[in-house]
Chain A
Amino acid sequence: MDLTLYVWRQNGPEEKGKLEQYAAKNVSPDSSFLEMLDEVNNDLIENGIDPIEFDNDCREGICGTCGCVVNGIPHGPQEKTTACQLHMRQFSDGDSLTLEPWRAKAFPVVKDLVVDRTALDNIIESGGYTSAYTGEVGEANQTLISKPDSDYAMDAAECIGCGACVAACPNGSAMLFTSAKIAQMAVLPQGEIEAAERVQNMTEAMLNAGFGNCTNHYECEAACPKGVSVKFIAKTNREFVKALAK
């Protein structure tokens, strides 16, 4: 199938960018979205045009590196799917695709569709750790964790940190990311020691990085390739109230 691409081209963080039109010809419906971009880049290189820069790594939907906004939706139209796992059979011959980078003050564009997501690392650094016992290895069953709690923590830990929640949020807020990281530790005994500082420090780091505030649009959950639930935002709000009481 043949597609028309409108791709955001921007040479550097300080440069002005704009949408450029390219043709994607003979695209196999079985190819992935990123393979389609690889093919387009081959054509561009043959014609002496700079290839489109886009982030990618594992290409199996688990690393959180890839992602761009496809026709207004982060990671494209298929639910709970990263851009690398999106297949071209989701589109039809003759479709036009607009590709844009994640748009947020905290995510400056590095080049084309690549953004700098260091801000998410800064949020993790501010509180995404636990105190650990050192010394001898403890008993295997020393710290018991209930099945519901461990499931809850695992659901939160599904977040791959891709930043689609920020890209989708009308406020450019990183609340779903931050909440998933807070919630995954809030229910585990290992996370209890820093619980109060964690929620305060991580939400403060979020604000300082230039992300917006959550106003409960729930666009983040809808765009999240892992379906991370906004219930973790409610949990974070409860953790904040608990921290205030201390």
Chain B
Amino acid sequence: MQMLQSSIGRKLVMALTGLCLVGFVLVHLLGNSSVFIGADGINAYAEHLHALGPVVWIFRIVLLSLFGLHIFFGIQLTLENRAARPIDYNQKKNIRTSFGAETMIYTGLAILAFAVYHLFHFTVHATNPEISVGVLPLDAVGRHDVFTMMVLSFQKFFISAVYVGAMVTLLLHLSHGVQSLFQTLGVLGSKTLPVMEKIARAAAIVIFVGFISIPVSILLGLINL
């Protein structure tokens, strides 16, 4: 049977793309945290990224493919799974699963919607042109002034609120996704599974706190221009 038609094969694709996407999220978080060093930190980081030239585009294409596969099979599997129970229970009590596990498709789609908005905001500069286009050109040493763009953006309560809300959906998604992917990859046993469930939740919380620390610090005025 073809890998991409089988039940486990498609789950493996979900797990492997998921693992790569978690890796991307971690790298993204590390990069973003250079904002705590100030304009020198994040502007230098952005300069380094852009200096990579074609590598950036290879990275973007790979990332887009990972997202595409993850979303395509996520939706396909969810539709199949719903079709497997055409008549629902009048009463159903779940014992073991979590809210995060039950809402994977919704948190996944919410993250997709946010990712699109996020690109329009910080990469394409379409959603808040008054911030991005006006300031972005250059900082004092001739670099793209990402720092000013971030601070001015997150000083707007609405932008920060959307960002924090999106990170809540990421928290839920990863709280199930991280342990689930290791189970699918077959690396867990009955002793390691409960440990991995705890590690996964802790990792999801660390990522959540890491990401929201930036808008929260800017809103509280801990980071300003």
Contact = CB atoms under 8 A, between A and B. Distances in A.
Interface of A: 6, 8, 19, 69, 71-73, 98, 100, 103-106, 168, 170-173, 175, 199-200, 203-204, 206-207, 210-219, 221-223, 229-231, 233-238, 240-241, 244
B141 interface: no
Given A171-B81, A204-B6, A206-B7, 8 more contacts: A172-B81, A172-B85, A173-B84, A200-B6, A212-B81, A216-B101, A217-B94, A231-B190
A103 B85 contact: yes
Contacts of B101: 215-217
A236 B96 CA distance: 21
Contacts of B87: 103
A235 B187 CA distance: 8
A71 B86 contact: no
Nearest to A241: B186
Contact of A230 (B7, B80, B193): B193
A170 B77 contact: no
B188 interface: yes
Contacts of A173: 81, 84
A235 B190 CA distance: 11
A108 to B, nearest CB: 10
Given A212-B80, A215-B104, A215-B180, A237 B12 contact: yes
Task: Please provide the 8 A-B residue pairs with the shortest distance between their CB atoms, ordered closest to farther.
Answer: A212-B84, A72-B93, A172-B84, A171-B81, A238-B186, A212-B81, A237-B186, A217-B97
Contact of B184 (A203, A212, A221, A237): A237
A237 B84 contact: no
B7 A214 contact: yes
B112 to A, nearest CB: 18
27 contacts: A69-B91, A98-B91, A103-B85, A105-B83, A106-B84, A170-B102, A171-B82, A171-B85, A175-B7, A204-B7, A207-B7, A210-B83, A211-B84, A212-B84, A213-B81, A215-B11, A217-B97, A217-B101, A222-B95, A222-B96, A230-B183, A231-B190, A234-B187, A237-B12, A240-B6, A240-B8, A241-B12
Of B104, B179, B190, which is in contact with the most chain A CB atoms at under 10 Å from its CB?
Answer: B190
Given A72-B89, A230-B183, A231-B189, A217 B96 contact: yes
- Give the contact-size bracket for chain B: 35 or more
B58 interface: no
B168 to A, nearest CB: 21
B129 interface: no
A203 B1 CA distance: 10
Contacts of A214: 7, 11
Contacts of A217: 94, 96-97, 101-102
For the residues of A in contact with B, the DSSP-based class is mixed
Nearest to A244: B3
B12 A72 contact: no
B53 to A, nearest CB: 36
B73 to A, nearest CB: 10
Contact of B186 (A200, A218, A223, A235): A235
Interface string B89-112: 111111111000110100000000
A8 B83 CA distance: 21
Contacts of A210: 83-84
Nearest to B85: A172
B93 A71 contact: yes
Nearest to B197: A218
